[in-house]
Structure 1
């Protein structure tokens, strides 16, 4: 099913493509930015919304919070909007002060994608990013495939380029599994198998160090709520205004993250082979979209600002390489106020 989702200021028609059936997990994805505008699951006869969303295309095009978008070419921040590659310097579009964030002024998330195919269980989107777009070198062809199977929503990125370019795509939904904006997102239980995190400076850029999560608010190796872990005296949380940090995933890891709402009884596991996960607590929404409440962003990705840190894992795509990364969201219904062992068991069965 496809429906109109409004028009942009230039008259471009935006469409919402539905995946799934009325009696199961159901998603709606826009051809604008590949945005996951709606994700719902039936719980005790009601449909529970799992991600925060906006009412129409115009609201998404103007959205400063990147709700639901496909992020690229480079997710997260690049310092001073500059990097060097193979002995040549490049300057990117600066869209957060003098820094580059989530691909620049429009990035992938505010541009129109082409629908390659659409069925009840899958949507294939294409985008061609020309040489020089947002300052990036080389032409880049990207395919994003959403696939819904049972209680699983999979997103697969594939890409090829004709010149070396930084490439770090990710996904930016805001999760509040309670399905109720009045329920604090920080009351969700979170587990992330990360032994280290990347400290940030006053511009939210990584300092280049890796720090042990032990004894810090960033230790989610055992499930806990953000509210319980939060420490107002922690210097890193003060500089970030809350959680806006990259967690370095243990290798190998059983998942990228697990999230559970004791209010709705919905649980989610994120599977991905990315080396890191950006954890953002959604505090910017208090000003950007105060009517939405908060949601948590859990973004599997490469390290932020990697092109400017030789000690970080490489995040350069080169000609001849076929980029492929999958992010899979697995949902289960263990029920309200369950022990974490019951949550894990339900996700294992999903």
Structure 2
């Protein structure tokens, strides 16, 4: 039987609920009907259940959250420079919610909207959201479906959308990962591997400069597993510009695994599978100011290129009538144990 619990109310009185997902294996989750937020995720480690994502106390805290913890991002993940774009001969102006730019769908985006629960079983939750023409400045009506499901040690998020007028569309998922399960353990102590062939340098407003820079020999090269702390310690002008990692990694063509992450403290590892062409890497450095005491988490967001509607050289990010957008993000977990060699981590994830 599906389990649902109250998760508080918004200022206007609307109730928010947390929907439990349990596949009978080592993985359990709670997802909110507010923003499709992955609010809780536990994995059964060697010493018991370990919380894997950062979370907040109630609905009001999430609605006021400037960090986008756990949300399904839409319509457009990441940034659109100048909060404007031209499409089919017409200029559209979006809500500017980060200085003069547009970030993660705008003032409310999809992450501060109540989604409709269409189905909820023990290990599956289907949410839907209708984004009307003109919402946040976007053209056309868009219907979005997000399906969470748990199967053994795997959490799967299926995203699907269609529209009645051409619109920029680049959804993603925004959990903050700290597989140590302990806010006292830095998220930057995790090991990261990702098939990066390049990255997108940004300006002082974190808008891409328009080029794909070679990642080889830089702190943005994660083709071999690296501790994030050690990678950042190498130093790079782009880390100074962004205040740390807040960059889009361009993945090898045809890659279906975006990232592998491992905590040598808890011994838990994660693999993210998705066919997105890029992965936003954010080290959560603003959390110290936005949520003191919460600790830091690492965002690994499979997506298209930021500011793509204004960059003809970037892969297209326009959804048109008659098309159906589909993307699957799968998180696979294993517990190889603390202090393992990287080869053991990869073997455990392959078997999960």
Settle same-fold status: TM greater than 0.5.
yes
Partner of 2:185: 183
SS of the equivalent of 2:257 reads coil
Partner of 2:264: 262
Q: Which runs of 4+ in 1 moved over 6 A?
A: none
CA 1:275–1:220 in 2, change beyond 3 Å: closer, same or farther? same
User: Are the equivalent residues in 2 in contact too, given 1:279–1:296 (CA < 8 A)?
Assistant: yes
Shift in Å at residue 231 of structure 1? 3.4
Q: Deviation digits for residues 306-338 of structure 1, max 9, x if unmatched?
A: 000000000000000011000000001111100
Partner of 1:294: 296
The 2-side partners of 1:315 and 1:233 are apart by 32
Aligned to 1:163, which of 158, 162, 165?
165
The 2-side partners of 1:275 and 1:44 are apart by 35
SS of the equivalent of 1:145 reads strand
SS of the equivalent of 1:290 reads coil
Partner of 1:111: 113
The 2-side partners of 1:284 and 1:22 are apart by 36
The 2-side partners of 1:188 and 1:22 are apart by 28
What are the equivalent positions in structure 2 for 1:77-88 lying under 5 Å apart?
Answer: 77-88=79-90
Q: Does 1:344 align with 2:346?
A: yes
Aligned to 1:245, which of 244, 247, 265?
247
Partner of 1:97: 99
Aligned to 1:66, which of 47, 57, 68?
68
User: Are the equivalent residues in 2 in contact too, given 1:66–1:109 (CA < 8 A)?
Assistant: yes
User: Are the equivalent residues in 1 in contact too, given 2:25–2:152 (CA < 8 A)?
Assistant: no
Q: TM-score, normalised by structure 1?
A: 0.99
SS of the equivalent of 2:241 reads helix
Shift in Å at residue 291 of structure 1? 1.1
Partner of 2:222: 220
Q: TM-score, normalised by structure 2?
A: 0.98
Structure 1: gaps of 5 or more residues: none
User: Are the equivalent residues in 2 in contact too, given 1:35–1:67 (CA < 8 A)?
Assistant: yes
Aligned to 2:310, which of 308, 327, 333?
308
User: Are the equivalent residues in 2 in contact too, given 1:232–1:238 (CA < 8 A)?
Assistant: no
User: Are the equivalent residues in 1 in contact too, given 2:256–2:274 (CA < 8 A)?
Assistant: no
Number of aligned residue pairs: give it: 350
